[in-house]
Every structure is written in C-alpha cells, then in structure tokens.
C-alpha cells in the first residue's frame, strides 16, 4: 500500500467528495492513457518490491514491531495529508464507520500484513509473493457462501482447483518451510476477509480516509502484539542496521504511501479490472527480484506453480458471458 506524489499529482478527496462511499466500478473519469500506464508502472514497481524489503527488514528487526510501527506511521501520514488538504473534518468519520474501519484494519494489517511479515523470517520473498497471490481465491470462496453473493461458475471452480494445485507444488518444493507457508496462506485469507468486509460495507467518505484509519487501527494493534510478546527486547543497537532502517523507510514511503496512492487513483479512474492487474504482475516480478538481489532460489516447482496460481486468479475473477449480456440488455 502506498501513496504520496503520483504522476498526475491528484488532489486528495475530502469526505464530501463521495458522500455515499467510493464505487470504483462507476466513478471513473476520463484520463490520458499515459497517466494510466504511468500509475500502473508505479504500482507494479512499488508493490512487487515490498516482499523483498520485508524479508530484508526482518533479518534484523522483530516482525510485529517492524510491521506495526511502519503501518501506524503511514496511517497518520495519510490522515495528516487529508487534514492539511481538506480540513480536520476530512480525516474524521462517524462512530459506526470507525468501528467497521477498525475491524477491517485488524484483518488487513494484523492478519494480512502482520502474518506475512512474521512468515518472511523463515521463507523467501518470492515464495511469499506467490502465496499471497491466492488472496482473490479466498475472496471468491467468501462471495460464493455469502447469502445473496455471486456463486462460482465452472471456470471459477477450475480456478480454485488450479490454485490448490499450485500451492501444493510450492509446498512440495519447499519442504521444511510449511509453518512459514501456512502463515502466508493465513495472511492471504485474512486480507481476503478484510477486503470482502470492506466491499460489502457502505462507508461514507473517501477511500483514503478509510485506508488511513485502517492503517492506524491495524498498525497500532500489530505494535501492541509485538510489545506484549516482548519484541522490544530484541531491538538493540546491533539490530538497528542500515539495511533494516532502509527497509523500514522504503516500505513506509514506497510501499505504504506512493504505491497505495497509485492504486486508489487507478481504482477511481479505470476501475478494478485494470488496477487489479498487479495481482498477476507482482508475484512474477517479486520472484525475479528476490533471485537477482538476494540470491533466492527459484526451483522447478516454483516455475511450474507460477502459471497455475496466476491462471487460477484469472479464472476466478472471470465473469460469465451470459450475465454480462443480460446486464447490458437491462441498461
């Protein structure tokens, strides 16, 4: 997640900009193609590198405090930007929205970001990125069992089967790292649950507002977990290395600010279909980057699993053609 100065330098919206909530499927605005391409490149570069940065950071710093303090600080930075551009009311919301935003923040940043950070103490960044790519599969399962939700069609079930096969290949090729892989899969599930809840809610205000408070709530809870289990005792002068500090601020600025602003901007202007392409690009880039920069091993099992996992995501997200035709007929 990320944000700050984007290619088009957009003005951060205030609460009154979208009083009925942000709808990325309909609130699109015409923008030049080069801006969309630029925002996509920013998103790909930012989010594909975060896994390696986490892997580098947790080599020296304790995972919960490393993740929690960074996310909390990023949330306050975003809320401060909203307050400066739209007044303090732009950084505030109702009690109901606060409660649900806090719940979503716990799933996204304690379960999602926190668990994958812990897991990367034992597994490499490329493997973590591939497993995180299963997040849409968890969301599809939740949607299919939700009352009134969209049921999986034939291609969707095939996608789930391919995804499970891909995970099975990864597990076979990474024997001895099952605990770390299980944590990443739990992280993907938690992120899927949080995203699913957020999609079902009708929260008022801009997506930047919700994201800022989600980071604050989730980051603070993650930090508290680190303090409860005594991680502060592991933060010594020897642990605060240049690479750990660099990873922390890289994730804060590039991962939690710049990349996230690019993502929200894309959602607003071109919708989820285009913005969501990072799910296909980032795992591949993360595997390549981990191998080139940190000497991570790329096994034949990983090479085989990559197309399986990415194909599974594409199939699950595919909409039945007959439903599209019916929808068009009604408009």
| pLDDT number for residue 29 | 56
Residues making up the chain, counted from first to last:
331
Residue where the block lists tokens 């392409």: 277
| pLDDT number for residue 116 | 95
Burial class for 280, CB neighbours closer than 10 Å (0-12, 13-18, 19+): middle
| pLDDT number for residue 327 | 39
| pLDDT number for residue 215 | 93
| pLDDT number for residue 176 | 60
Question: At CB < 8 A and 24+ separation, what contacts does 174-181 make?
Answer: 174/123, 174/127, 174/299, 174/301, 177/122, 177/123, 177/127, 179/122, 180/119, 180/120, 180/121, 180/122, 180/123, 181/119, 181/123, 181/127, 181/131
| pLDDT number for residue 148 | 75
E-assigned strand segments in 143-211: none
Cα–Cα distance measured from residue 285 to residue 303, given in angstroms and rounded to the nearest whole number: 13
pLDDT tens digits, 64-80: 999 999 999 999 999 99
| pLDDT number for residue 42 | 92
Classify residue 235 as left (phi > 0), alpha (psi -120 to 50) or beta.
Answer: beta
**Short-list 115, 168, 128, CA closest to 290:** 128
| pLDDT number for residue 320 | 60
Q: Answer yes or no: are the C-beta atoms of 105 and 253 closer than 8 Å.
A: no
**Short-list 187, 189, 72, 63, CA closest to 118:** 63
CA–CA distances in Å: residue 226 to residues 67, 182, 206, 211 = 9, 20, 31, 22
Report residues of the chain scoring pLDDT below 50.
1-27, 322-331
Cα–Cα distance measured from residue 291 to residue 297, given in angstroms and rounded to the nearest whole number: 6
Element at 47 (helix H, strand E): helix 33-57
Q: Provide the 8-state DSSP code for 319.
A: P
pLDDT tens digits, 108-163: 999 999 999 999 999 999 999 999 988 888 888 888 888 877 777 888 788 888 88
Cα–Cα distance measured from residue 218 to residue 117, given in angstroms and rounded to the nearest whole number: 14
């Amino acid at each position: 997640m990320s944000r700050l100065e984007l290619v088009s330098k957009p003005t951060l919206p205030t609460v009154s900009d979208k009083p009925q909530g942000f709808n990325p499927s309909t609130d699109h605005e015409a923008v030049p193609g080069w801006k969309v391409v630029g925002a996509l490149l920013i998103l790909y570069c930012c989010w594909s590198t975060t896994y390696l940065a986490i892997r580098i950071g947790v080599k020296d710093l304790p995972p919960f405090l490393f993740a929690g303090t960074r996310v909390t600080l990023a949330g306050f930075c975003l809320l401060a930007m909203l307050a400066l551009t739209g007044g303090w009311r732009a950084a505030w919301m109702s009690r109901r929205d606060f409660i649900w935003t806090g719940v979503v923040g716990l799933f996204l940043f304690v379960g999602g970001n926190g668990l994958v950070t812990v897991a990367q103490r034992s597994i490499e960044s490329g493997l973590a990125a591939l497993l995180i790519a299963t997040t849409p599969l968890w969301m599809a399962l939740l949607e299919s069992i939700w009352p009134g939700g969209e049921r999986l069609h034939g291609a969707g079930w095939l996608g789930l089967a391919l995804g499970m096969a891909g995970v099975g290949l990864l597990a076979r090729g990474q024997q001895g790292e099952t605990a770390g892989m299980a944590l990443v899969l739990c992280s993907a599930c938690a992120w899927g649950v949080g995203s699913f809840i957020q999609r079902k809610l009708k929260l008022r205000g801009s997506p930047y507002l919700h994201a800022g408070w989600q980071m604050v709530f989730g980051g603070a809870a993650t930090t508290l977990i680190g303090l409860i289990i005594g991680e502060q005792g592991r933060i010594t002068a020897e642990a605060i290395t240049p690479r750990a500090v660099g990873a922390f601020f890289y994730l804060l600025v590039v991962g939690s600010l710049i990349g996230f602003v690019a993502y929200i901007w894309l959602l607003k202007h071109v919708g989820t279909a285009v913005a969501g392409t990072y799910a296909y690009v980032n795992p591949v880039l993360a595997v390549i980057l981990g191998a080139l920069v940190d000497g991570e091993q790329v096994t034949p099992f990983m090479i085989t699993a990559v197309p399986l996992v990415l194909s599974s995501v594409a199939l699950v997200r595919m909409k039945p053609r007959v439903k599209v035709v019916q929808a068009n007929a009604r408009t």
